[in-house]
């Protein structure tokens, strides 16, 4: 049974430790779609938000960065290709080693918040032990097992919530004006309007909590 977990970790020599501590208002995240360039072990990092600080100069001063190259410049969003030094402390290779994958990774406070999909809960103990041996601070913020009724999509939606959201989207329920009423949507799903409304609400709450907001931030401040 797959497991989705959200972790906050920190280390003085973690990837981009100097950069994250130096940026006052900017956000740093890893592009998961192209996490690394296998041939060069290059990570693709996005810097966005208030970028008054000279990112290139900060990266040059970061002791965890061996090489950095500006890939794209959108003004308030910069994409850099970064190769880390051999001494940089990374958890990502351990996650991959145990059969997991990173769904999201972004800076927070003095560390990283990452969301992983793992093959089971037992491998999380292996990652925790690796983090302990390498002197990381390591906090589990969220742990969610994907049951047979849930989609293995990294968001923890039940099959019913997934069906309701996709059907509502396809039928124009979220458009203005709506392409279908709640009663019509419920009839198509074969459930009551109250049940349809509940599935949409719970599904949207799950999606928002796992994507565009971070409800766990206050726990690590």
Q: What percent of the chain has pLDDT over 90?
A: 42
Q: How confident is the model at residue 146, as a pLDDT?
A: 64
Task: Give CA–CA dist 83/65, Å, rounded.
Answer: 6
The yes-or-no verdict on residue 191 having pLDDT over 80 is yes
Task: Yes or no: say if 58 and 16 are a contact pair by the CB < 8 Å rule.
Answer: no
pLDDT class of 50 with cuts at 50, 70, 90: low
Question: For 156-179, what is the mean pLDDT?
Answer: 86
- Cα atoms in the 13 Å half-sphere on the side-chain side of 50: 4
Q: List the domain boundaries for the chain.
A: 3-145, 159-210
Give residue-wise pLDDT tens across range 63-112.
Answer: 999 999 999 887 778 899 999 999 999 999 999 999 998 888 999 888 99
CB contact at 8 A, 144 and 4: yes
- So what's the pLDDT on residue 195? 85
Instruction: For residue 154, name the pLDDT band (cuts at 50, 70, 90).
Output: low
Place of tokens 């093959």: 119
Please count the other Cβ atoms lying within 10 Å of the Cβ belonging to residue 3. Answer: 18
What are the distances in angstroms from CA 63 to CA 42, 59, 81, 158?
Answer: 16, 8, 16, 44
Share of the chain above pLDDT 70, in %: 83
Interval 117-130 mean pLDDT:
92
Contact 43, 35 (CB under 8 A): yes
Could you tell me if 46 and 174 are in contact, meaning their C-beta atoms sit under 8 angstroms apart?
A: no
Helical (H) or strand (E) element with 195 = helix 193-210
pLDDT of res. 155: 66
Q: Which two tokens stand for residue 11?
A: 């280390």
Closest CA to 104 of 112, 116, 92, 96: 116
Per-residue pLDDT tens over the stretch 52-71: 668 999 999 999 999 999 99
Kindly indicate the confidence band of residue 123, based on its pLDDT and cuts at 50, 70 and 90. very high
């Amino acid at each position: 049974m797959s497991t989705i977990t959200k972790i906050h970790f920190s280390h003085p020599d973690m990837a981009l430790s100097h950069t994250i501590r130096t940026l006052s208002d900017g956000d740093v995240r890893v592009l998961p779609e192209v996490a690394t360039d296998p041939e060069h072990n290059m990570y693709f990092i996005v810097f966005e938000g208030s970028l008054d600080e000279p990112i290139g100069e900060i990266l040059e001063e970061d002791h965890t960065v061996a090489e950095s190259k500006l890939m794209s410049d959108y003004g308030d969003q910069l994409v850099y290709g970064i190769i880390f030094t051999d001494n940089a402390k990374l958890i990502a290779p351990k996650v991959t080693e145990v059969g997991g994958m990173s769904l999201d990774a972004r800076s927070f406070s003095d560390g990283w918040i990452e969301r992983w999909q793992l093959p089971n809960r037992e491998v999380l103990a292996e990652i925790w032990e690796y983090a302990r041996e390498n002197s990381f601070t390591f906090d589990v913020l969220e742990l969610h097992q994907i049951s047979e009724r849930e989609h293995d999509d990294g968001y923890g939606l039940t099959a019913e919530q997934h069906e309701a959201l996709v059907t509502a989207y396809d039928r124009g329920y979220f458009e203005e004006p709506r392409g279908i009423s709640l009663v019509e949507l419920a009839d198509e799903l074969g459930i009551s309007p109250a049940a349809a409304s509940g599935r949409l609400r719970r599904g949207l709450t799950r999606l928002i909590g796992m994507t565009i907001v971070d409800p766990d931030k206050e726990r690590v401040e």
